């Protein structure tokens, strides 16, 4: 691995909450997962359990009434609120928001109009907070943002996690241009920076290389660590869960990342082109750490199980992989 990989890993290590006997429950993160519908109960489970396995203390799942029992039945560790399709969602959610440190919106959300309306209202409430809490938007949450990009513009503590197709749709909606017409495929990553600058949010564009871009950053972060060629469902949800826990830590402890002043040249550069004194954002550090964690976990499980690997197997590997990457 290069020096920049080491720089990013070391930066993340500095924000990981220490394991102390006098610590209090919740100090390492109280995470909210907004998603889970009649058709999709696995996605919020994967995201929630990945947040747990990464190191969050408590995870609340805000799902529809029909999804609550399947999610509750998976693990007694999950705190499940069947309010996502409720007419009193806003009032119910307002009771819990002060207790949460970070949110991920989208896993298993579905596209029911009433549910999306409730989520739209939730994002509006989050925006009105004096300091908006870290927010990750994935899956069908991205569908809502593509339909209404202004919902999330200028939300400084937000990471959008589109795959290639989701990115193309969002890019075209926001810029009026098709991403595939703008640059050659090898340069497509720079469009993530374009979108981050335009929307004023962070972008983690998933693909063969995961690309992390922050507004006005002088660099693009790429994670190209080998994962698994097995593309079973749920891996994106695992990334979203790991990311929201990591993002809370980096935002909370961003003064520990050890940034120096940014270079005068603001033109986008890959991390391999950037000096070790570059300014890193919390989203870049968290995004690289989470991508590395899930890719390496997938790699380890695939080496054992091959084609039969499923995302439930990867969950079991997150803890040991986290220890190897970040605890030594």
Q: Which residues have C-beta within 8 Å of that of residue 142, sequence separation ≥ 6?
A: 106, 160, 161, 162, 166, 170
Residue stretches of the annotated binding site: 108, 163-169, 206-210, 227-237
Length of the chain: 328
283-302 in b/e form (b: 16+ CB < 10 A) is bbbbbbbbbbbbbbbbbbbb
Contact 27, 16 (CB under 8 A): no
Task: For 19-64, give the DSSP string.
Answer: --TT--TTTT-EEEEE---SS--HHHHHHHHHHHHHT-SEEEEE--
Task: For 197-249, give the DSSP string.
Answer: HHHTSEEEE-SSSEEEE-TT-S-BEEE-----S---TTHHHHHHHHHHHHHHH
* Number of Cβ within a 10 Å radius of residue 279: 18
Instruction: Say if residue 209 is exposed, middle or buried (CB neighbours under 10 Å; 0-12, 13-18, 19+).
Output: middle
Q: What is the rounded CA–CA span in Å between residue 223 and residue 186?
A: 15
Q: How far is CA 286 from CA 108, 119, 283, in A?
A: 23, 24, 5
Residue stretches of the annotated binding site for ATP: 206-210, 227-236
Residue 297's nearest CA partner among 241, 253, 256 is 241
Query: What's 279's DSSP letter?
Result: P
Contact 87, 117 (CB under 8 A): no
Residue stretches of the annotated binding site for (6S)-NADPHX: 108, 163-169, 237
Ramachandran class of 145: left when φ > 0, alpha when ψ lies in -120 to 50, beta otherwise = alpha
Q: What is the rounded CA–CA span in Å between residue 43 and residue 64?
A: 13
């Amino acid at each position: 691995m290069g020096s920049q990989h080491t720089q990013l890993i070391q930066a993340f290590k500095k924000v990981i909450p220490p394991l102390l006997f006098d610590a209090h429950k919740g100090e390492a993160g109280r995470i909210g997962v907004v998603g889970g519908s009649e058709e999709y109960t696995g996605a919020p489970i994967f995201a929630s359990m990945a947040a747990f396995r990464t190191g969050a203390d408590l995870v609340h799942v805000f799902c529809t009434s029909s999804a609550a029992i399947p999610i509750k039945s998976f693990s007694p560790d999950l705190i499940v609120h069947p309010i996502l399709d409720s007419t009193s969602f806003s009032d119910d959610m307002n009771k819990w928001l002060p207790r949460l440190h970070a949110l991920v919106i989208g896993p298993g959300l579905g596209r029911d109009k009433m549910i999306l309306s409730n989520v739209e209202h939730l994002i509006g409430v989050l925006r009105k907070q004096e300091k908006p809490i870290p927010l990750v938007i994935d899956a069908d949450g991205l569908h809502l943002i593509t339909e209404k990009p202004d919902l999330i513009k200028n939300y400084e503590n937000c990471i959008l996690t589109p795959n290639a197709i989701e990115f193309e749709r969002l890019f075209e909606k926001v810029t009026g241009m098709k991403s595939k017409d703008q640059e050659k495929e090898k340069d497509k990553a720079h469009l993530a920076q374009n979108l981050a600058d335009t929307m004023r949010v962070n972008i983690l564009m998933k693909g063969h290389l995961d690309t992390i871009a922050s507004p006005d950053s002088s660099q693009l972060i790429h994670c190209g660590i080998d994962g698994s060629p097995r593309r079973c469902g749920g891996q994106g949800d695992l990334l979203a869960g790991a990311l929201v826990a990591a993002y809370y830590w980096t935002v909370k402890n961003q003064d520990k990342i050890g940034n120096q002043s940014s270079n005068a040249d603001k033109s986008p550069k890959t991390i391999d082109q950037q000096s070790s004194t570059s300014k890193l954002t919390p989203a870049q550090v968290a995004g690289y750490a989470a991508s590395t964690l899930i890719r390496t976990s997938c790699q380890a499980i695939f080496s054992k199980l091959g084609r039969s690997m499923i995302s439930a197997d990867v969950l079991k590997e997150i803890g040991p992989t986290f220890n190897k990457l970040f605890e030594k």
